[in-house]
């Protein structure tokens, strides 16, 4: 996946056929992080506040899953060309896609047993956990591509004389 | 009496006595953490990277000190990005 340009608030990417298949395959794993994984506080949290947090995260998972399914089904989003496919994302779509990919990355890490560093990660690998290592690495690869686009988009907006100041 | 208690509770919730803390973990990418800080707090890249490096090198970074409600809001936002963030009372 390669970030091409930003135009009128839309970010354009080029992706080849094999990479697109990989992208879809990893996105289908969403969600992997359980809603009760996160804690509001290490020291003190009222049960009702913790419950509220878990409800908010569960609602987000549902909403992201709905958007994701729509994106994976919409054939018009990926326009075929000689090199593979061209697709565009708006800023808000880029944000939820980053959240989705990081959920897959963090969830895979949890399923690997939360290893601390490469040595522990490799020690945790077996036939059952290997797919989570794959998902951890692949989701990270696509995150880095989207982050490059986010940085590029931010730079382009800052250089545009009509761009509103956001930072 | 209950009214006074209620009033004191509300006052304490409104005071900026809660720290929003991001904790280190070995899974979130450094570039991603920087991006999330920029997106959630509207910080420039230099400030976001400074806090990201604090998380990385010192194990945690205090991102902001807020009222209970605002601290909860920020923790929710950070956790939507799957960062390891909590709110703690500033003793």
User: Which positions in chain A touch B80 (Cβ < 8 Å)?
Assistant: 56-57, 60, 99
Closest B-chain CA to A57: B80
Q: How far is B61 from chain A (nearest CA, A)?
A: 14
List Cα–Cα distances, A107 to A7, A20, A64, A67, A104, in angstroms: 33, 22, 15, 19, 5
For the segment A51-56, the average pLDDT, to the nearest whole number, is 91
Percent of chain A with pLDDT over 90: 69
Among A128-142, B14-28, B47-61, the range scoring the smallest mean pLDDT is: B14-28
Nearest C-alpha in A relative to B86: A41
Strands B18-23 and B60-66: antiparallel
Q: What is the DSSP letter of A76?
A: G
Rounded mean pLDDT of chain A? 89
Q: Does A136 touch chain B (CB under 8 A)?
A: yes
Q: Does A57 touch chain B (CB under 8 A)?
A: yes
Q: Judge residue B34's burial from the number of C-beta atoms within 10 Å of its C-beta, 0-12 exposed, 13-18 middle, 19 or more buried.
A: buried
Contacts of A151 in chain B (CB under 8 A): 35
Cβ contacts of B39 on chain A, cutoff 8 Å: 95
> What count of other Cβ atoms lies within 10 Å of the Cβ of residue A14?
15
**Rounded average pLDDT over B40-59:** 97
Q: What is the pLDDT of residues B11-46, one digit of tens each?
A: 666 778 999 999 999 999 999 999 999 999 999 999
Q: How far apart are CA A128 and CA A16, in angstroms?
A: 29
Does B29 sit within 8 Å of A140, measured CB to CB? Answer: yes
pLDDT in tens, A139-151: 999 999 999 988 8
ipTM of the complex: 0.87
pTM of the model: 0.88
Burial A87-104 (b: 16+ CB within 10 A, else e): bbbebebbbbbbbbbbbb
Strands A79-81 and A2-7: unpaired
DSSP H helical ranges for A74-129: 91-111, 118-123
Helices and strands (H, E) in chain B, number of each type: 4, 3
- Structural domain spans, chain B: 27-90
Nearest to A80 by CA among A25, A22, A26, A20: A20
Whether residue B3 is predicted with pLDDT greater than 80 in this model: the reply is no
Chain B residue nearest residue A150, CA to CA: B35
CA distances from A114 to A104, A121, B61 (A): 13, 8, 21
Is A74 touching B (CB cutoff 8 A)?
A: no
Chain B touched by A119 (CB under 8 Å): no
More confident residue, A47 or B43: B43
Neighbour count for residue A10 (Cβ, 10 Å): 14
> What backbone torsions phi and psi does residue A25 show, to the nearest 5 degrees?
-60, -45
- Do you find a cis peptide bond into A52, omega within 30 degrees of 0? no
CATH of domain B27-90: 3.30.1390.10
Q: Do A57 and B86 touch (CB under 8 A)?
A: no
In chain A, residues with a C-beta closer than 8 Å to the C-beta of B72 are 40, 49
Which pLDDT does position A141 carry in this prediction? 96
Do the beta carbons of residue A102 and residue A57 sit within 8 Å?
no
């Amino acid at each position: 996946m390669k970030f091409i340009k930003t135009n009128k608030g839309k970010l354009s990417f080029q992706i080849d056929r094999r990479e697109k298949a990989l992208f879809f395959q990893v996105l289908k794993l969403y969600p992997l992080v359980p809603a009760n994984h996160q804690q509001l506080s290490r020291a003190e949290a009222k049960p009702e506040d913790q419950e509220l947090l878990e409800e908010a995260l569960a609602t987000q998972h549902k909403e992201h899953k709905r958007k994701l399914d729509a994106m994976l089904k919409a054939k018009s989003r990926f326009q075929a060309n000689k090199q593979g496919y061209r697709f565009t994302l708006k800023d808000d779509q880029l944000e939820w896609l980053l959240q989705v990919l990081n959920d897959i990355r963090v969830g895979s890490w949890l399923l690997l047993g939360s290893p601390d560093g490469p040595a522990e990660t490799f020690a945790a690998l077996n036939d059952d956990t290997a797919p989570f290592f794959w998902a951890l690495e692949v989701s990270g690869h696509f995150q880095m591509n989207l982050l490059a686009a986010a940085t590029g988009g931010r730079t382009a907006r800052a250089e545009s004389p009509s761009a509103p100041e956001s930072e | 009496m209950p009214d006074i208690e209620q009033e004191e509770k509300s006052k304490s919730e409104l005071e900026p006595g809660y720290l929003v803390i991001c904790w280190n973990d070995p899974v979130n990418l450094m570039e991603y953490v920087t991006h999330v800080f920029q997106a959630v707090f509207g910080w420039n890249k230099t400030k976001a990277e400074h806090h990201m490096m604090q998380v990385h090198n010192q194990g945690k970074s205090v991102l902001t000190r807020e009222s209970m409600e605002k601290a909860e809001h920020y923790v929710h936002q950070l956790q939507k990005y799957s960062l390891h963030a909590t709110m703690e009372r500033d003793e």
